[in-house]
Amino acid sequence: MRRRDLFALPLAGAALALAGCTTTGAGSSDPDAKRREIDAGVDRTVQRLYATVPGSREIASRARGILVFPEVLAAGFIVGGEYGEGSLRSGGRTQAYYSTVTGSLGFQAGAQSKAVVFMFMTDEALQKFLASKGWTAGADASVALAKVGANGAVDINTARAPVVGFVMTNAGLMANLNLEGTKVTRLDL
């Protein structure tokens, strides 16, 4: 068995366990209710980003598309996984719905929730994402994780990248995090 296959099996198991442990609203089997639930979470997350990360509104105004996952649940014990659902917005409206899955292997124990936002800053980056059958951060596109500079605003060099990523917990913007390996797949909603 290839090394990649050895990693894929625990990753798939962790993702399934996370998906099975999440709770969704009462209307989760109704696609319209699911879309409304995701959109409401996206609205709250974007407003929280603007309120807590100076300069993020300006970066968003230049973005060609913004992919928002309001609640990415992460859990693990040695083998870990993350799962969340969100939507891509472009031109001021929702274009499509997506899920994200990430796996990890190593020393870890516990669970947490975070919000993940990808801003596609160029038409080329957005079109490559839209054309993909399953987009992976780091493999299909390099993602610059937003860093806050000494002035408290998002570092201007970060904003020049083709794809900018923001990760927030209840405590605010997370630093020293890696989004590489985050797999994004379109949902049929």
Whole-number pLDDT of residue 105: 63
pLDDT mean across residues, the chain = 78
Instruction: Read off the pLDDT of residues 142-175 as tens digits, 9 standing for 90 and up.
Output: 677 776 655 556 666 666 789 999 988 866 665 5
Helix H or strand E encompassing 59? helix 56-62
For residue 165, what are its two tokens? 């990523």
CA distance 46 to 40: 10
Dump pLDDT digits (tens) for 26-41.
Answer: 446 899 999 999 999 9
CA 143 – CA 136 distance, rounded (Å): 10
| Torsion sign, CA atoms 175, 181, 182, 184 | positive
Rounded distance between C-alpha atoms, residue 120 and residue 105, angstroms: 28
Question: How confident is the model at residue 143, as a pLDDT?
Answer: 78
Tokens for 19? 């998906």
- Give the separation between CA 120 and CA 35, rounded to whole angstroms: 22
Q: Which residues pair with 24 in a beta bridge?
A: none
pLDDT > 70: percent of the chain: 65
pLDDT tens-digit profile of 28-85?
A: 689 999 999 999 999 999 999 999 888 899 999 999 999 999 999 887 776 778 899 9
